[in-house]
Structure 1
Amino acid sequence: MTDLLARATALDAADPLAAFRERFVPAPVVSYLDGNSLGRPLEATARLMDDFIRGQWGDRLIQGWTDGWLEWPLTLGDRLGAVALGAAAGQTVVADSTTVLLYKLARAAVDARPGRRKVVLDTDNFPTDRYVLEGIAAERGLSLHWIETDPATGVHPGQVAAAVDEDTALVLFSHVAYRSGWLADVPEINRIAHEAGALTLWDLCHSAGSVPVELDAWGVDLAVGCSYKYLNGGPGAPAFGYLRQALQAELRQPIQGWMGHRAAFEMGPGYEAAPGIRALLSGTPPILAMVPMHANLDMLAEAGIEAVRAKSLLLTDYVLDLADAWLVPLGVEVVSPRDPARRGGHVTLRRAGFEELLAPLWASGVIPDYRRPDGLRIGPAPLSTSFTEVHQGLAILRDLAEKQR
């Protein structure tokens, strides 16, 4: 135990990102291990929210729309694309929820491949992804081809190659599997799908702000993700959608609202889509909910996504070492990839009865995430989590697991 604690102390002392921890609002917990579900708020976010309410909103009132609010979905989208997504300007918008944007993009994609009746997805993807595609299949008379994925890993290129054919309109997967943390081979899966003439849609909810993403370089067609996990946007923060430049004149999203019109304030008859990425918008942008993104993207740009990824791998390596030393002997199974090239930003541990430990863990100041069946997700956020904090949290988990056993 002493060696493991000494290692945490040494890693914290050598951490080039350590100073960023002081930028977060202090939390009355011992160990927050759920950054992959809800990120912590920044002190700068609290100041920005106050300034926005008292200044831009309080002083300018409706004039704020012409001061720049109307462009926030695009300007913040471009900034997010540059800082975290590897996306050139004019391809990303901030709007809606993940579910709504997923529906828009998936519906647009299948409609852009008329005559193709097949959509390929996997059985262990996040429920929203599966439910939305089930609904679209029913609407458009499509068939769903389910790839059976191991919850301890994720989808492999070979499985995709065996599933797609000339009848496939769309394939949908998560870059980082929500349950196991499996990191998919996006470029290779894209290549396979494109050779069959299908479009690709990637869920980046567990990637953005944690794992480097190169949407343009990887040849991604469409992508969607949230901003309340590693991007620290807060509960219910808006989502983002990406649509590759070359497809923007071809794809048409189905929720035709005034903000996606070519001339929103003409209020004229009939819908005419705006050119470019603005056509992905529908209703009034959630401006107040976008305020935190300004602070969060500033911080991520300063830290650099490569440095964030480097620390994330060190953190999850350390989680694995603690799990092997303390928890595996107690019957706990590691169900996340041990290969860092295939591991996202969290580690999932599984043992029957883990759900019963949630209340005592929370009462002890340790906040992990739970996913059925019997999975505890350990999601340290690189910019807000120390190695010592991980040690403290897993030590308490070990003690409770020993008592439970």
Structure 2
Amino acid sequence: MRIATLSIGDELISGEVVDTNAGRIATLLLEQGLRVRRHVTVGDDEAAIIDALNDLAPKCDALIVTGGLGPTVDDVTALAAAHATGRELLVNEEAGKHVRAFLAARGRFAGEPPSDKQAMIPAHSSLIPNPNGTACGFRLSHHGCLVFFLPGVPAEMDAMVRETVLPVLVEQVEERRYVLCSFLNVFGLSEPETDTLLHGVTDLCPGLQMSVCVTFPWVRVTLRAEAETEGAARACLAEGTALVGQRLGEYVFSEGEVSLDEAVAALFRQQGLTLALAESCTGGLIAKRITDVGGSSAYFLEGVVTYSNAAKERLLGVPSALLMEKGAVSAEVAAAMASGVRSAANSDLGLAVTGIAGPEGGTPDKPVGTVYISLAGPGGCRTERFLFGGGRGEIRTLTAWTALDWLWRHLGDKAKP
């Protein structure tokens, strides 16, 4: 089945809002063995919408349109659909009742009824219910193409695709293919390095596809197995996933939608260990990442941001002589910070970072991007120097990710038999 998507909105083509609907629709369709072949974005312009409908419909079996069904003057999608298909734009009584009931239930109007604009759809269209918003969608045929018009609000669109659009499309498919996906999340390898290590993986079985995508600062490997039966697709995917895991080894920190933060949290909960943090160049970013995960109070005792030398001395017990001799950005000071925060918090582990995030402060010996990370535990203290590239934000992000990766690897090693 040839399927396309059309996103409508001035905010999309101006870059003010990122179009997440197109990706979400593609994902929902792929789960049912259906693929989006083309995607187009236009603004809230009637002529542009009509051109897009007339261009896409003759080339597609189905077209999913999102956006421009709201109550404001710039919402012209329904009008454009009517003009493109030679239909009248009429008030749909069922849609009008839905708008009034939805708003009344939320106390959105009293006395003065809402405008009928969102209840106006092209004649001879089928209504698509909207359980999460005011604007119902509608469905019609244009040049032999089944066209679905949906609101642009992601939560509304998502429910309407799952509950109405997908069942209609699946029913149209005579020979359904099964497509299953798996995702492996990688940190510590570049995109080219990951791709090189995975050369030949897709030769395992027919219908296996792989993509390697950077989502800074980590890399996601996506595997898709397509087959005539669900069992065949599942077997192919399992074989491919196992081989990717074998090739990438310790660089895979999780599968699916599990973040590095969540992977670290799971290991802390399993092992019953505690953590304290001392951050300088990251300014509390690591602590935020850790506490973004619910239940972190069970293992995260405290964190301090010690930007100044005085704070490092007062809160962590770093000797002033050491700071004067080696400098705040040094292996020795990082180790003292990690040991100091561990001692102050009486935690199992103490993690510290200190560095130069820029854009100023670098020297020939310690250029911008120089970072020291130190992890103190019962067995001693491990400290390493890194030189990260990029701007201030990228350096801070890479520091936080590397520190969390250290925790993940340390805890993972302890869990091994």
Q: Shorter-chain-normalised TM-score: which range?
A: under 0.3
Q: Tell me which protein shows more helix as a share of its residues.
A: 1
Q: Tell me which protein shows more strand as a share of its residues.
A: 2
For the pair shown, the structure with the greater C-alpha radius of gyration is: 2
Higher relative contact order (CA 8 A, sep 6+): 1
Alignment TM-score, normalising by the size of structure 1: 0.27
Alignment TM-score, normalising by the size of structure 2: 0.27
